[in-house]
């Protein structure tokens, strides 16, 4: 995946709490960074968590396919991208990447599923949310 044209981007700094004893970012923290980028992407579209909850819906991660290429280390400045690449009736596949400058550190495709809040079963993404996501593919 190329650095250019990656959709929404979030800048983050690596702190000591993100690293292991060797000063390298612990692998699961890349998923946390990607979660933040997806959340801020949705917020940029006008859908904060309250808006989604008001629709009696939840968005939960269903699948993650990640490739780790290079390590991030303490104090690195990172750019995390989030771009919907497939929008189904009740799911969204996001392509996400973590960069340090032009160096690709990690990339993933993350499937997020829409659930009905009460039943916790798959439910259609509200049309006004789905339409916005389709505009940003």
Annotated active-site positions, please?
20
Reading the block at residue 103, the tokens are: 């160096």
Which is it for the CA torsion 54, 55, 57, 61, positive or negative? Answer: negative
| Largest distance between two CA atoms of the chain | 47
| 3-state helix, strand and coil shares in percent for the chain, rounded to the nearest 5 | 25, 40, 30
Residue 36: φ, ψ to 5°: -60, -40
């Amino acid at each position: 995946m190329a650095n250019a044209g990656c959709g929404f981007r979030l800048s983050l700094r690596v702190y000591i709490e993100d690293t292991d004893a060797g000063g390298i970012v612990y692998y699961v923290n890349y998923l946390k960074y990607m979660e933040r980028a997806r959340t801020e992407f949705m917020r940029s579209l006008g859908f904060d968590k309250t808006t989604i909850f008001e629709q009696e819906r939840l968005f939960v991660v269903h699948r993650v396919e990640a490739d780790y290429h290079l390590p991030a280390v303490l104090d690195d400045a990172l750019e995390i991208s989030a771009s919907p690449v497939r929008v189904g009736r009740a799911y969204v596949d996001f392509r996400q990447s973590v960069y340090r400058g032009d160096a690709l550190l990690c990339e993933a495709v993350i499937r997020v599923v829409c659930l009905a809040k009460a039943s916790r079963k798959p439910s259609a993404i509200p049309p006004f949310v789905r339409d916005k996501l389709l505009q940003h593919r």
